[in-house]
Amino acid sequence: MTVTTRFAPSPTGTLHVGNLRTALHNWMFAQKQGGRFLLRIDDTDAERSEEAFVDAIRTDLAWLGLNPDGEERQSARFDRYEVRFEELKAAGRVYPAYETAQELELKRKVLLGRGLPPVYDRAALALTDEDRAKLEAEGIRPHWRFRLDHDAMIEWDDLVRGPQRFDPKTMSDPVVRRADGSWLYLLPSVIDDIDMDITHVVRGEDHVSNTATQLQMFAALGAEAPRFAHEALLTGAEGKLSKRLGSLGIAHFREIGIEPQALIALLARLGTSDPVEPFVDPAPLIESFDFARFGRAPARFDEEELAQLNARIVHQLDYEAVKDRLRAGMTEAGWDAIRPNLSTIAEAADWWSVVEGPIAATIAEEDRPFLAQAADIAATLDWSNPWPALTGALKEATGRKGRTLFLPLRLALTGREHGPDMAALLPLIGKENALVRLRSG
């Protein structure tokens, strides 16, 4: 058996962090098992689906390195759904129902008012052929429900949640097709999973009740069901996932300078007891991936933690990996000098402007003679390793040390109180520019 997972987004919007986590875990599990990771575009909702969102989904997955081994589109499979639907109809596993939305809502309220669960009463099954003909003659078109087998307890061993058990008598027969002929999510997804040979379905815990229903659909279609893993949902720093965070597309994180490796490193281990670590290469994350490590408590997504992780990722990136994104003229030595002070790669341009100049520095009056003396000493130095030679000579000549020695020099040479290691930065600034800056101070 080849392990096969799938990521099945609806192209009605852009991917957000919750979607990404689902895609990532499907991809990682398939990678670890030497299997296949498929992309399925769930675009049965023609009114809300947009081709621009399909393109955005592909772009986001490619940026993250989650490259599918194949792609399917539900909109190309309507004929297949029709065939399997007719099989279920012939077997008596789907049936027409004629209640309006208002009638169903009234039934629901009555049951709740009596303290009963709002389970559909299967009134449509009591209709005769004459009843149905009369309703359709009045222009009422049916929606279609899947008839659950009340005699078969629904059970499965979830890879995250453990043993699960549902009594179908406590569940409503789900609507699988609307009166206009369009499909709802449940049945097409099962048909696709069968045809795509999906062996494992990884998704959020909000789908647990859907799984209970779909397991009976697999059985009704004569197919073995995949294994299921239902993960706890993400929450934000304040508790539940905020609308802002829940609606943020992956493009947002690209725009603010988050590296794909940072998102992968964070989302790979959220919800486990394993430490979040700044892996540039996802191989160790894939190797340690195990559904048994995931707990049932909500997983907390913290943008501040992501930002800190991103900085640690950036500090590991070598020049070859980033050179096409750096400011023109920035050298490998420049990247190595500046990299430890960056939170994002985009910040490198600001520090390279410090190297190239010009800069503006605010110098205390009492430090100006000291800087003039520094310029005189700097003019005599070999520039192969100037910073320790300059500071050593100044310390001996002036008696200054610590902050009083280093801060005026840094301010005069960079215009900043803090920044990259001056031993690495000063050779990049160059002797001529350094002398001009010290004398300007």
Under 8 Å between Cβ of 156 and 215: yes
Calpha distance 234→25 (Å, rounded): 14
Task: For 131, list phi and psi in degrees, rounded to 5.
Answer: -60, -45
Under 8 Å between Cβ of 176 and 210: no
The b-or-e profile of 161-178 (16+ CB within 10 A means b, else e) is beebebebeebbbbbbbe
Calpha distance 51→130 (Å, rounded): 44
pLDDT class of 244 with cuts at 50, 70, 90:
low
The model's pLDDT over 10-26, given as tens digits with 9 standing for 90+, comes to 999 889 888 999 999 99
Q: State residue 370's pLDDT score.
A: 95
Count CA atoms within 13 Å of residue 327 on its CB side.
Answer: 16
pLDDT class of 216 with cuts at 50, 70, 90:
very high
CB burial of residue 210 (10 Å; 0-12, 13-18, 19+): middle
Nearest 5°: CA angle at 408, between 402 and 410?
90
pLDDT class of 239 with cuts at 50, 70, 90:
low
Under 8 Å between Cβ of 65 and 260: yes
Q: Which CATH superfamily groups domain 4-70+185-235?
A: HUPs (3.40.50.620)
Q: Which sequence spans correspond to the domains of the chain?
A: 4-70+185-235, 80-152+160-177, 236-314, 319-356, 365-440
> Is 243 annotated to bind ligand?
yes
Calpha distance 242→252 (Å, rounded): 15
Q: Which CATH number fits domain 365-440: 3.40.50.300, 1.20.1250.20, 3.40.605.10, 1.10.10.350?
A: 1.10.10.350
> Mean per-residue pLDDT for 105-124?
94
CB burial of residue 187 (10 Å; 0-12, 13-18, 19+): buried
What architecture does CATH give domain 80-152+160-177? Alpha-Beta Complex (3.90)
What architecture does CATH give domain 236-314? Orthogonal Bundle (1.10)
> Mean per-residue pLDDT for 70-85?
97
Give the residues across from 145 on adjacent strands: 95, 175
Q: State residue 246's pLDDT score.
A: 55
Helices within 329-402 (DSSP H only): 332-338, 348-356, 368-378, 386-398
Q: State residue 199's pLDDT score.
A: 98
What is the model's pTM?
Answer: 0.90
First to last CA, the chain: 73
Instruction: Give me the percent of the chain exceeding a pLDDT of 70.
Output: 97
Q: State residue 1's pLDDT score.
A: 85
Calpha distance 262→26 (Å, rounded): 18
Single-letter amino acid code for the residue at 43: D
